[in-house]
Structure 1
Amino acid sequence: MARPAIDLDYLKSRLADLLNTPSPTGYTDEAVWQLCRELERLGLDYELTRRGAIRARLPGRTAKPARAIVAHVDTLGAQVKQVKDNGRLELVAIGHWSSRFAEGARATIFSEGGAWRGTILPLKASGHTFNEEVDTQPVSWRQIELRIDAVTHGRDDTLALGVDVGDIVAIDPQPEFMDTGFIVSRHLDDKAGVATLLAALECMIREERIPTVDTWWLFTIAEEVGLGASSVLIPDVAAMVTVDNGTTAPGQNSSEFGVTIAMADQTGPFDWHLSRKLVQLAREHDIPHQKDVFRYYRSDSASALESGADIRTALVTFGIDASHGYERIHESALTDLARLLVAYAESDVEIGRDAKPLSGVKGFTHQPVDEDHD
């Protein structure tokens, strides 16, 4: 078929809506509702787990061995650890991120008394008071506090607002969609991935593209705390491609442009055959790409395998600068990634025996071990 026409305006519109819907891990219901409404608009059948992970099925020419493509809608955030005597809030992180990037953030506290706005500040926030100590205080979550924009002279006043230990704190994304094609925001990990999945789906439905086999589009709600795709797969799925961010930083081969195909993360190598297939598809479809290995990174793939799923997994990413901070990506990478997902959904099944969870050695794969380069 012709090259898929990914609707970039649709992709960016879905991304903007997702960014403006707070969804730190543990507080994802409204983002789930938003995704469900969009899947209904696209005409897809879907179902939810008890806690809200979503799986939507795009029927293929045959049912098995089914494929899955997954991204996570949950983001980093914080939680109230203590209501302090001064009326401000001590926080703990939701997910793994530095308090360095929390300092100065505007935020919303979701409490029994309603939603309250505030600012996360270092304990020594005033240079006029602390002089050079504002630059020498340590960086840690114990060195910051959340100042609520309400009249609170002390702990009792804050408790009277309905704010208490355990309340969820959502960090403002502050998104900017630039004329240069760059998108700058918090929480692009992994709402940009979710928007890319939706754009690939929208393209396949609009252009009446039929996957080779049943393809499940998964949206998980707890990847940032390590749970991810641990409870959303069905037994028919034999291979899963995870979509997440690729860290663009010194020592990494990722780029803000093109698709970065991860060959391994901290849990070890991804499936050799599936990763190789994605690289070959990128070459065949003239999709700019590069490979990378991540030392301090895990994704939905890891949680699926750790939960006992016997599936092949791979990771494809959009390059992101300053991951888990003020993140930046380029819209062209999202388009390239959506094209690769369409190509994968339409690609031939190469390992037919994967349709069965257990079988004999017939049809089992080989890996090259002694190639002649003379």
Structure 2
Amino acid sequence: MGDQLEPYVLIKKNGLTKPYKSISREEFQKFKKLNGLLRDFERTQGILPLVESNASALDNYVSKIEKQNHDLSIKRLEILKLNDEVNRKLLNFLASGRLYLDHTETRLKRSYGDNSKEAERFDSITSEAYDDFFAYRFFYQLRNYVQHCGMGIDFISNYSSSKRIPGHIDSHKINIQFSPKRLLQDFDGWKHVKNDLKKEGDRIDVYGFASEVTRILKEINIRIYLAELSKLQEAGNWIVDLVEDVFESGGQPQIATLDKNGSILNANILVPALDVIQVLGVINFENNSSKKSEEYFPMFGFCFKLSWNKSIKQFEITCPSVSELKVTDKKKEKVIDKAEVRFKEILQKHLEQEIRSPVPLPWRKQYKLIVGNI
């Protein structure tokens, strides 16, 4: 930053943007760092829907081919076209899955440090998934295989006769699978997966593989998110403290550098990640709807639904992730307090009885419910 530039909090109000208060350069640099942390987190969360979409595309295409009764005279060129399309969808899935893992690891190390608790937590959670799930181990090493040896998918023709007449064929189905034997022959870098492949026999179905890996990646993401939540909330709280008086003035805050003439340099205008901060539960932007409308709000990294129950004429709170949570009260503040107490009780019960803890909704789903209501 040149000596002629000074950082300011701006206020955007009634269509106009103007300087509101000056801040120190140290505050400006800290804002950039913390706001960047929140935006980086948000961008990483945006990769998981891509992973899920690619998994669905692969499974749907495989299912379509395997269910279809193909013409007995289908040419090899047509089989190759089908094979190419399946492999393309597999590559998309593998690339997006590894993209999520690589970006998450890089983000955590860049944000908190290579030896931080957050980075160590990532290593611990992913190592646990690698040890516990064959699908995850296979996915992790399969990306290395396709980079060095090509695709591991085989198309196997399955002919049969519905009339059970010797020599009569009226059905031609295609099975799509990975061949463990060929995978082992072509590649020496399977590491711990080598023994797994030897145990799998002649085939591993392609259908369902990507969906299972996606489920595991989503669980990894949720565990990392909950472990990181307090740090993200700390960042959000600091930013809110910096610009809270702008809200109180009825405006929207921005951060920018001004030259000595007070001109706003558009290239240097930074917008606080208030939407992310809201979903993290740091700040709540009340909507102006009546008490009878439903709204969603965050707490402890989970998403809660607040609505007006007409039959009992009370506010009601439920949680999409916790079916047993349901509290009511005539006052909005009290029903929220009740929900917090009840949620803690449920978590404690799960901990004491060693029951699997509730799982938050995916980040993008929470974002849509919470921010989308405003």
With the length of structure 1 as denominator, give the TM-score of the two structures.
0.29
Higher relative contact order (CA 8 A, sep 6+): 1
Question: When you count helix as a share of all residues, which structure comes out higher?
Answer: 2
Question: When you count strand as a share of all residues, which structure comes out higher?
Answer: 1
